[in-house]
Amino acid sequence: MPYPVRYSTRAYVEYEEILEYVSVKFGDLVAAKVDMYFEEVIDQIAINPLLYPYSDKKKNLRRCVISTQTTLYYRFIGEYVELASFRGNKMDPKTLGLG
C-alpha cells in the first residue's frame, strides 16, 4: 500500500514553475507528458520511499534524479512521504537551502 505524499510549499511552487516553463517553452502537450512522468516517479516513491539514496549534501533528504534537468529531494517521515524540493540540475547548489 502506498504511503501518502505531501508537498512542501516550496516543492509545490517549484513543481508548478517547472510545468509552466515547459508549457511556455515546449507546449501544453509536452508539459502534460512531463507532469505524467513526474507523477509516475512520485507514485514509485510512495510505494517504496527507500528507493533512492540519501543526498550527499543533506543527509535527512533522499535524492531522485527525475531527468537530466530536474532532481527531486524528499524525506520519508514514517507515515508519509514529504516532497521537499524540485531543483534544476544547473542551479547553484548553495541556493538549495533545505533543512
Please list the pLDDT of the chain residue by residue as tens digits (99 residues).
Answer: 899 999 999 999 999 999 998 899 899 999 999 999 999 999 999 999 999 999 988 778 999 999 888 999 999 998 999 999 998 776 444 444 444
Q: pTM to 2 decimals? A: 0.85
CATH number for the domain harbouring residue 47: 3.30.2310.20
Whether residue 99 lies inside any domain: the answer is no
What is the per-residue pLDDT for 84?
96
66: phi then psi, degrees, rounded to nearest 5: -75, -40
Return the C-alpha cell found at 80.
508519509
Whether residue 97 lies inside any domain: the answer is no
Residue 37 domain boundaries = 5-88
Angle value at C-alpha 98, between 76 and 94, nearest 5 degrees: 140
Return the C-alpha cell found at 59.
543527509
What is the per-residue pLDDT for 68?
86
What is the per-residue pLDDT for 90?
62
Total domains, the chain: 1
